[in-house]
Chain A
Amino acid sequence: MAAPLELSCWGGGWGLPSVHSESLVVMAYAKFSGAPLKVNVIDNTWRGSRGDVPVLATEDNIVSQPAKILNFLRKQKYNADYELSAKQGADTLAYIALLEEKLLPAVLHTFWVESDNYFTVTKPWFASRMPFPLSLILPGRMSKGALNRILLTRGEPPLYHLREVEAQIYRDAKECLNLLSNRLGTSQFFFGDTPCTLDAYVFGFLAPLYKVRFPKVQLQEHLKQLSNLCRFCDDILNSYFRLSLGVDG
């Protein structure tokens, strides 16, 4: 019998099994590939380092970062991509790069940098799942990390001011959403009838944006107009996560 696989990740809310994109990517991939994961939701009592979450623990290994975790699962024969052609595999890598470069900065901004959102939603949510005094320090650190990442990767000449960077990243994110919507079309998943790695990534990045209730919602509004992407998220939630949603509110 395979060694038990335990995934530690951030919990859910607003109808999602997790509100954290990277955790969601791993959870979705596990469902798609049939990997039997025991999910440990992080709360006040969790003693591990929260910086690395999501973290997969097996008997002899600890793996962090979604790409590495997915690689590990594939090596354990939980492969959601085995029906893909070589070109489709290449396309997967390319689209994931697109998500990380064009969509992620705006998602990070919506959750961690936009002050109304951060102070009324994100910070209280995360702080309530950390023990004192970590709850006073870590959310701020995560917020700074997000801002840092945005500025270091996108704040290059000729964009110097944060305002301009913000405008640009939201433009890029909306364009990225449009591209994804065009690419998905009327198909159920990105490569045919069964979901694979790319679907896990798109779901992981989109679902929190789609479902979490924020005060400042420009990107969310844009996403809601792309009905096929919303349908995509809802389908996955209903088909793969319905049973576990009764547990966490």
Chain B
Amino acid sequence: MSLVAEAFVSQIAGKVPFIHVGNQVVSELGPIVQFVKAKGHSLSDRLDEVQKAEMKAYMELVNNMLLTAELYLQWCDEATVGEITHARYGSPYPWPLNHILAYQKQWEVKRKMKAIGWGKKTLDQVLEDVDQCCQALSQRLGTQPYFFNKQPTELDALVFGHLYTILTTQLTNDELSEKVKNYSNLLAFCRRIEQHYFEDHGRGRLS
């Protein structure tokens, strides 16, 4: 199976964030951080204690809102599940395993949603939460190049990973990516990171 499809499958299997970079696919936060580090920049060592606390708090916000919203959209929105997720998740496997695994995953995700109180949320409410999260990120970023001014940190890597995934993944509706696009500084932030760190591997997908 092509690398792109494999990446998409692993991404929608819940292992977000991932970056598709030309022929390279980097998934999960750890490798992304290593990737960014390998480009010659240090991360959060220079932050003081209060800034480290802030960074951790914002990382939890992203996990809490964006990651959960992504999972919700992939697995709890019936339209998306029916048209895209179900088929893609099961595609590496033969019948009937493809259906069984997809249903099992959907059941697991729904259980988790219920446990954290997202079980009764409608799509609109989820989109509102995403909007609130993006607004907070946008306000925190302001006009700086990165969240902690001149140098990127783990937070920048995490935010980039999620926003990039949202902006470039095709789903049944574009509302999720539209929410992100409302915030021009977040869009610029993603473009900037894509260009700085991944441009040697071919043209970016955001431009």
Contact = CB atoms under 8 A, between A and B. Distances in A.
Contacts, number: 66
B61 A153 contact: no
Contacts of A182: 49-50, 53
Contacts of B116: 149, 152-153
B115 A152 contact: yes
Given A153-B112, A179-B53, A183-B50, A101 B140 contact: no
Interface string B29-73: 000000000000000000001101110111011011100000000
Interface in B56-107: 56-58, 60-61, 63-65
A93 B132 contact: yes
Nearest to A145: B115
A75 interface: no
Interface string B118-148: 0000000000000011011101101000000
A148 B115 contact: yes
Interface stretch (A82-90, A127-135, A213-221): A82-90
Majority secondary structure, A binding face: helix
B117 A97 contact: no
B56 A98 contact: yes
B111 interface: yes
Interface in A53-99: 65, 86-87, 89-91, 93-95, 97-98
B115 A94 contact: no
Contacts of A145: 115
Interface residues of B, number: 26
A212 B18 CA distance: 43
Contact of B63 (A86, A87, A101, A148): A101
B115 A153 contact: yes
A93 B60 CA distance: 10
A235 interface: no
A174 interface: no
B63 A97 contact: yes
A123 interface: no
A145 B117 CA distance: 11
23 contacts: A87-B142, A89-B139, A90-B136, A90-B140, A91-B54, A93-B61, A93-B136, A94-B57, A95-B57, A97-B60, A97-B64, A100-B60, A102-B60, A148-B115, A149-B116, A152-B112, A153-B112, A153-B115, A180-B53, A182-B50, A182-B53, A183-B50, A185-B50
Interface of A: 65, 86-87, 89-91, 93-95, 97-98, 100-102, 145, 148-149, 152-153, 179-180, 182-183, 185
